[in-house]
Amino acid sequence: MQTHEIRERFTQHFVNAGHTAVPSASLILDDPNLLFVNAGMVPFKPYFLGQQNPPFPNGTATSIQKCVRTLDIEEVGITTRHNTFFQMAGNFSFGQYFKEGAIKHAWSLLTNPISEGGYGFDPERLWVTVYLDDDEAAEIWEKQVGVPAERIQRLGMADNYWSMGVPGPCGPCSEIYYDRGPEYGKDGGPIADDNRYLEVWNLVFMENERGEGIGKDNFEIIGPLPKKNIDTGMGVERIACLLQGVDNVYETDLLRPVIDIAEQLTGATYGTDAQNNIRFRVIADHSRTAMMLILDGVTPGNEGRGYILRRLLRRIIRSARLLGAQGETMAQFMNTIMDTMTPSYPEIAGSRERILNVAINEEKAFLRTLESGTKLFDDAAAAVKAAGGTELNGAEAFALHDTYGFPIDLTLEMAAEAGLKVDEAGFHSLMAEQKARAKADSQAKKHGHTDLSIYREWVDEHPTDFVGYDNLESEAKVLGMVAGGEKLSVATAGQEVEVILDVTPMYAEAGGQLGDRGLIVAGDARLVVNDVQKIGKKLWVHKAVVEGGDLAIGHSVTASVDKQWRHAARQAHTGTHLIHAALRQVLGPTAVQAGSMNKPGYLRFDFNYTEALTPEQLKEIEYIANQAVDTDWQVNTIETSLDEAKAMGAMALFGENYGSRVRLVEIGGPFSMELCGGTHVDHAAQVGPIAVLGESSVGSGVRRIEAYSGLDSFQYLSKERALAAGLAASMKAPTEELPERIAQLSEKLKQAEKELSDLRRRELAAKSMKYVEAAHDVNGFRVVAAQLPAGVAASDLRTIATEMKDKLAGSAAVIVLGVQDGEKAPYIVAATPAAVSRGVKSGDLVKVVGEFVNGRGGGKPDMAQGSGTNANGLAAGFEAVKSELEKL
């Protein structure tokens, strides 16, 4: 049974039982506790916590959620059951059925014949576990389902009590295991051997809320949830493994094709070598995870989600290289995994080119890193050998890994080829320190998560009625107020307060558009609203300052939007859509939105693209956007279903989770059609002129365009015109001749700088000759030790030292120079090859000078530099160097 059929049978089983089928959420959700969605229940978390009412007719739902877990990336492939990406099929009940319903639904799907829509598992091969004191679940399994008591086992909190690992919903669980047979391990059930008895389904009886804590069993149970809920998770990959009759998840229909391609590209064979097997599995697992992350809008970077993606892609490249691959392999891996996953995720087809571009560009960059890392390794290895050593120290191996992205196993392999060892203990110690820092930072971020429980009452019972699309003013009632995390009954003059109204015309920040500004007025009470935010996507919270009077709960008020603010905000938001459409015309469909921000008069638009835009491309984007303004297309908003909007050609954004009804903003028919909840002008001409300020990089594979709209655009262009006019007047040339005149001046300046540089070089050469002639002997070394006159810049020291080295190349010579450069005392030590062969290490000698000038420095055996703060110590430092030379 193919994986896509396993998915279809699961969904249909629960739809037939009255559940609402919910599409998988993006892997990226707005949750400060999670880097990626890591469990099937995560998108339903607000319903379990009671922060929102579930929007499902029967209070039940089913989904097959994309999940990513990356805590132990290094362990991938060592076991054959775990993946970084996996699909969690689940059924959910929000206050409807509980233990009995969850157990019977799962059992029937697993054991019903294939001809009746089930998976056809032999009931005699299924075992279950329950929480230690959960007699109710054990009785249901035995008395109602018919599982023999000897195949029901009890486990403790670490195994059979579920939570996300962070504060949130939790509860006891019951797990279902499949006995794979004696050839996989010993008898005795899951307690005896969890390799033979493979867990396939976890039924969580979610009834409590957990607090802070570490680990699976070291946390506080805060109390019961508002309702008893069901959250189950069936591992699609594990079911596929069993139904396809293969030993592990890497040999299923989704991953085995990638291993086959890896065999072709590397010449290695899967299944013949334990270490190589791990590398094949890493390629298969990480290719799928990386592809799915890119699909959901993640791009490689140096922190957060981008760093995880970059790490996954680089581990693929590294593993392929260690298996014997030469050159680029990413295109073949990505194409293969997209072929296997598209039947389950049809949206891959529309993003294929973009996914390939992101992965291939990262591969090219990393291959360059490998090339530069190899050179750095060669230098480090040569230094070790020159010093008579046999081991590359852990700090150098860590620097290659951490700073340059050079994998440790490649370092080990190359060291062995060079006849050297690597201080692995030192390397792993530094890695452990880095991980500890990262974990502490992660915990700090989790603890900073805002407690939103104070708003739960309003979210559940009084969601805000937003009327701001059609009205800039409305009558409303004050439902609640919050200040300093506490509920208020009355707010007084001067107080900062969050106000909850039953109705509001003010837009809450969302979709990149900042929240409205405005007023709340009731009699003598006057509140200035400076921001509006959403809680749980249902509640509008007005952040305001009481300018005068008192406001109490229950007061009738008039809420009004700052009209000028809204007008300029609408201009910028519609301008963002025009820029997006223009950008896709110029760059093609692979330039996909990666974020935006618009406020009155200003917009910025981030998009996935790997190259800087040319001035011509920027000019064309600006022209197309303004052409749309000039055409004065009507801006239409249409409320429809998500499927209908997509059928019309609307763009959905990565990381956004849309409900069953969506708002489609259409400008000029096919010119721009996006799902968007923001506020917009009625006609494109109302945007006013759009002035593109420029574009820049905001991360690997992500570019940003910034622009002004409306009057802000006019003012910007007016200043630019005045600046050009001023330059034209000073140069006594027409404005249109300015570029040519400036280019001529620039060329003259470059020529003058070159002449000055040549003159300075000749002067430095003459100075160096004077000091070389004064060199004296120290223990067989020709030594130049001199403090150069003030005026010689720190940047000149290397040039002078190199000149001296060249003139003394035929002898064992050591050059020690320093200078007072303002408050600093830069210095340098250089040694000829003959001096290095006698044991001179400039990197050590530069530290000797540093002791006398309060300085630090380092470098290679032939040249090292440093800088201190006490130029008066240079002479003593030079003498100390001579003393060190006397000892050699």
Same domain, 228 and 105: yes
Q: In what order do the strands lie in the sheet with 602-608?
A: 592-599, 602-608, 702-709, 690-699
Q: Any idea which residue has 């032939």 for tokens?
A: 862
Give me 291's structure tokens: 């592809």
Q: What angle do CA 500, 25, 449 make, to 5 degrees?
A: 45
Same domain, 245 and 263: no
Residue type, 154: R
Rounded to whole angstroms, how far apart are CA atoms 572 and 596? 11
Query: Is 409 a domain residue?
Result: yes
**Number of Cβ atoms within 10 Å of the Cβ of 876:** 13
Q: At what angle do helices 99-111 and 3-16 cross, to 10 degrees?
A: 140
Same domain, 574 and 548: no
Is beta strand 152-155 parallel, antiparallel or unpaired with respect to 126-131? parallel
Rounded to whole angstroms, how far apart are CA atoms 850 and 867? 7
Give me 685's structure tokens: 């001409």
Rounded to whole angstroms, how far apart are CA atoms 82 and 530? 48
Rounded to whole angstroms, how far apart are CA atoms 595 and 299? 12
Q: 128: number of CA atoms within 13 Å, CB side? A: 27
> How would you class 429 by CB atoms within 10 Å of its CB: exposed for 0-12, middle for 13-18, buried for 19 or more?
middle
> How would you class 344 by CB atoms within 10 Å of its CB: exposed for 0-12, middle for 13-18, buried for 19 or more?
buried
Residue finishing a domain among 529, 561, 593? 561
Answer positive or negative: Cα dihedral of 482, 488, 490, 492.
negative
Rounded to whole angstroms, how far apart are CA atoms 858 and 238? 54
Contact 695, 703 (CB under 8 A): yes
Rounded to whole angstroms, how far apart are CA atoms 226 and 726? 69
Query: Is 226 a domain residue?
Result: yes
Query: Is 738 a domain residue?
Result: no
Q: What is the pTM of this model?
A: 0.63
* SS3 per-residue string spanning 184-209: HCCCCCCCCCCCCEEEEEEEEEEEEE
> In degrees rounded to 5, what are phi and psi of residue 813?
-120, 150
Q: Which residues contact 20 (CB under 8 A, 6 or more apart)?
A: 56, 57, 58, 60, 61, 62
Bridge partners for 638 per DSSP: 664
In the three-class reduction of DSSP (H, G, I as helix; E, B as strand; rest coil), residue 37 is classed as coil
Query: 170 among the known binding-site residues?
Result: no
Cα 654 to the chain's mean position, in Å? 13
Residues 710-720 as b/e (b if ≥16 CB within 10 A, e otherwise) read: bbbbeebeeee
Query: Is 64 a domain residue?
Result: yes
Bridge partners for 79 per DSSP: 76
Same domain, 304 and 168: no
Same domain, 848 and 702: no
Cα 357 to the chain's mean position, in Å? 18
Query: 680 among the known binding-site residues?
Result: yes
Residue 45: what pLDDT?
82
Per DSSP, 140 falls in state: I
Same domain, 200 and 223: yes
Residue 704's CATH number: 3.30.980.10
Rounded to whole angstroms, how far apart are CA atoms 136 and 145? 13
Is beta strand 781-787 parallel, antiparallel or unpaired with respect to 661-667? unpaired
Q: DSSP secondary structure string, 457-506?
A: HHHHH---EE-TTT-SEEEEEEEEEEETTEEESEE-TT-EEEEEESEE-S
Rounded to whole angstroms, how far apart are CA atoms 840 and 882? 11
**Number of Cβ atoms within 10 Å of the Cβ of 126:** 21
- Single out the residue of 870, 814, 817 nearest to residue 842, CA to CA: 814
Query: Is 739 a domain residue?
Result: no
Q: What angle do CA 539, 228, 126 make, to 5 degrees?
A: 130
Same domain, 783 and 872: yes
Q: Any idea which residue has 């995560």 for tokens?
A: 42
Query: 573 among the known binding-site residues?
Result: yes
Q: At what angle do helices 615-631 and 563-587 cross, to 10 degrees?
A: 130
Same domain, 618 and 484: no
Same domain, 21 and 106: yes
Expressed as residue numbers, the domain containing 769 is 757-887
Residue 446: what pLDDT?
39
Contact 799, 769 (CB under 8 A): no
Rounded to whole angstroms, how far apart are CA atoms 283 and 291? 12
Residue finishing a domain among 230, 251, 272? 251
Count of domains forming the chain: 6
- Single out the residue of 788, 792, 790, 799 nearest to residue 830, CA to CA: 799
590-645: pLDDT as tens digits: 787 888 999 999 999 998 887 899 999 999 999 999 999 999 999 999 988 877 88
Same domain, 70 and 212: yes
Q: Which residues contact 391 (CB under 8 A, 6 or more apart)?
A: 384, 420, 421, 422, 423
**Number of Cβ atoms within 10 Å of the Cβ of 288:** 25
Residue 655: what pLDDT?
46
Bridge partners for 675 per DSSP: 664
Same domain, 419 and 489: no
Give me 807's structure tokens: 């003139």
Q: Any idea which residue has 């070291």 for tokens?
A: 218
Q: For the chain, what is the largest distance between any 2 Cα atoms, rounded to a whole number of angstroms?
A: 102
Residue finishing a domain among 367, 398, 431? 367
In the three-class reduction of DSSP (H, G, I as helix; E, B as strand; rest coil), residue 71 is classed as coil
Is beta strand 602-608 parallel, antiparallel or unpaired with respect to 525-535? unpaired
Alpha-carbon distances, residue 144 vs 14, 29, 137, 148 (angstroms) = 20, 39, 10, 11
Q: At what angle do helices 274-295 and 330-341 cross, to 10 degrees?
A: 70
Q: At what angle do helices 842-853 and 874-887 cross, to 10 degrees?
A: 140
Same domain, 312 and 401: no
Q: Any idea which residue has 């003598």 for tokens?
A: 524
Q: What is the dihedral of CA 795, 799, 800, 805, to 10 degrees?
A: 140
Rounded to whole angstroms, how far apart are CA atoms 329 and 790? 56
Q: What angle do CA 555, 543, 467 make, to 5 degrees?
A: 65
Query: Is 639 a domain residue?
Result: yes
Q: Mean pLDDT in runs of 10 for the chain (888 residues)?
A: 96 96 87 80 82 85 93 77 89 94 96 95 96 95 95 92 80 95 93 91 92 77 87 94 92 95 95 91 96 90 83 89 90 96 92 90 84 78 84 84 69 79 87 69 42 76 92 95 90 94 95 94 95 89 95 95 96 95 89 87 89 93 95 92 79 58 88 91 95 86 91 91 86 84 88 82 76 90 90 80 90 94 90 94 94 90 93 93 93
Residue 658: what pLDDT?
59
In the three-class reduction of DSSP (H, G, I as helix; E, B as strand; rest coil), residue 647 is classed as helix
What end-to-end distance do the CA atoms of the chain give, in Å? 75
- Single out the residue of 18, 151, 174, 21 nearest to residue 102, CA to CA: 174
Query: 173 among the known binding-site residues?
Result: no
Q: DSSP secondary structure string, 133-173?
A: T-HHHHHIIIIII---GGGEEEE-HHHHEEE-SSSEEEEEE
In the three-class reduction of DSSP (H, G, I as helix; E, B as strand; rest coil), residue 661 is classed as strand
429-451: pLDDT as tens digits: 888 887 676 555 544 433 333 45
Give me 276's structure tokens: 């190589």
Query: Is 247 a domain residue?
Result: yes
Residue 214's CATH number: 3.30.930.10
Query: Is 184 a domain residue?
Result: yes
> How would you class 545 by CB atoms within 10 Å of its CB: exposed for 0-12, middle for 13-18, buried for 19 or more?
middle
Rounded to whole angstroms, how far apart are CA atoms 515 and 218? 41
Answer positive or negative: Cα dihedral of 585, 586, 587, 593.
negative
Rounded to whole angstroms, how far apart are CA atoms 32 and 451? 12
Rounded to whole angstroms, how far apart are CA atoms 560 and 568? 16
Q: Is 223 left (phi over 0), alpha (psi -120 to 50) or beta?
A: left
